[in-house]
């Protein structure tokens, strides 16, 4: 599997590069640096969102025009690269300012010791031949030493203030980053948040040998509902479903809006059977809600969701993990909706209907 190979291996790089260029040739894409980055990463199969977006476009037989390619790059790279660069610079600045402040502090301590030594040398100097002249020289040195110490203290204070400013900027950047991981409509994690959490969850499960489950849920007939009641009511439904999922999952895992009316849940450290029970609690809670239009109080009926559940297999690529959960969701949809399908289950075993 590709994730087990060394990404720095020349043979691997050439293989992926050739695959990327072949794909670009097949879809008549100009091999510009930005396009090459997109398709190299697609060939690597490391960015699930990118791969899903391109796969959907290929399946729908869309053309990869210059505009489409630019949009892909802007969507998956530009803002993230810029944000990461700013974050790294901020962290670097703070680290360097801390080092400089420490260096100035050490100089201050040395200067203070030097001043104390000069002061000590003044004692009894009157009894030494030429003592008055030496006293004048030492006093002058002490004056300059004090001035230097004062200047250093001022510089150290300024550095401390600068470090505080950088810390505030870093906090702001962290806030912006958190916002970038949150779906603004539903206030739960977004696709980027899910991908980061999944990478971490797989790493932890691999290292510790723990179980890990992935659940994909989709609101049934959402397009028809949206067309009937309008997007404002549709947004209300998305918020309600997201809230239900978030509260029912709680601390057991992490939930995110994967896109449109699709939600995704990562459940670590539980069996597939427990994951199914948690999912069914979510399904029943959603199906049991009586939705009303907020503006008028008009009853708009019930909402149901279908789910697919997959258990992680040690060593598999996360894309394969996602595909198995997605395939289980598809079976729930084709077998009647408002139900849960466990990966690998046959038609007759797929149950849990409200």
Active site residues: 261
Pairing mode of beta strands 254-259, 212-219: unpaired
30 closest CA partner among 74, 64, 63, 75: 64
Query: Taking a C-beta distance cutoff of 8 angstroms, is the pair 35, 73 a contact?
Result: yes
For 50, the 3-state DSSP assignment is helix
User: CB-hemisphere CA count at 13 Å for 205?
Assistant: 23
CA distance 247 to 254: 10
For 61, the 3-state DSSP assignment is coil
Query: Taking a C-beta distance cutoff of 8 angstroms, is the pair 182, 189 a contact?
Result: yes
For 190, the 3-state DSSP assignment is coil
CA distance 3 to 7: 8
The single residue listed with the structure tokens 């969102």 is 49
Q: Which helix (H) or strand (E) holds 135?
A: helix 131-180
CA distance 154 to 278: 60
Task: Report phi then psi at 9, rounded to 5.
Answer: -65, 130
- In 10 A of CB 165, how many CB atoms? 13
Structure tokens that stand for 312 in this block: 């992680």
């Amino acid at each position: 599997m590709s994730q087990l190979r060394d990404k720095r291996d020349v043979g691997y790089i050439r293989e992926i590069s050739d695959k990327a260029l072949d794909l670009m040739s097949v879809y008549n894409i100009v091999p510009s640096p930005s396009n090459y980055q997109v398709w190299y990463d697609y060939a690597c199969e490391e960015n699930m969102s990118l791969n899903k977006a391109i796969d959907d476009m290929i399946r729908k037989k869309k053309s990869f025009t210059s505009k489409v390619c630019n949009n892909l790059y802007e969507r998956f790279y530009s803002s993230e690269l810029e944000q990461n660069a700013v974050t790294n610079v901020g962290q670097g600045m703070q680290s360097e300012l801390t080092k400089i402040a420490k260096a100035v502090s050490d100089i201050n301590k040395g200067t203070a010791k030097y001043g104390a030594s000069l002061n000590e040398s003044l004692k009894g100097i009157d009894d030494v031949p030429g003592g008055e002249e030496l006293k004048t020289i030492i006093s002058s040195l002490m004056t300059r030493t004090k001035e230097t110490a004062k200047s250093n203290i001022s510089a150290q204070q300024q550095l401390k203030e600068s470090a505080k400013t950088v810390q505030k900027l870093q906090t702001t950047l962290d806030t912006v980053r958190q916002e970038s991981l949150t779906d603004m409509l539903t206030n739960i994690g977004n696709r980027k948040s899910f991908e980061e959490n999944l990478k971490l969850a797989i790493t932890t499960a691999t290292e510790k040998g723990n179980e890990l489950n992935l659940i994909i849920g989709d609101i049934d007939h959402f397009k028809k509902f949206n067309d009937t009641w309008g997007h404002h009511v549709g947004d209300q439904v998305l918020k309600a479903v997201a809230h239900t999922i978030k509260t029912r999952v709680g601390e057991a895992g992490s939930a995110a809006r994967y896109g449109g009316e699709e939600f995704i849940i990562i459940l670590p450290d539980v069996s597939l059977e427990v994951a199914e029970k948690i999912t069914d609690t979510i399904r029943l809670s959603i199906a049991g809600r009586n939705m009303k239009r907020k503006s008028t109080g008009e009853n708009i009926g019930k909402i149901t969701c279908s789910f697919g559940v997959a258990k992680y297999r040690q060593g598999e690529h996360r894309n394969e993990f996602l595909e198995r959960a997605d395939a289980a969701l598809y079976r729930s949809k084709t077998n009647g909706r408002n139900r849960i399908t466990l990966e690998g289950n046959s038609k007759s075993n797929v149950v849990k209907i409200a």
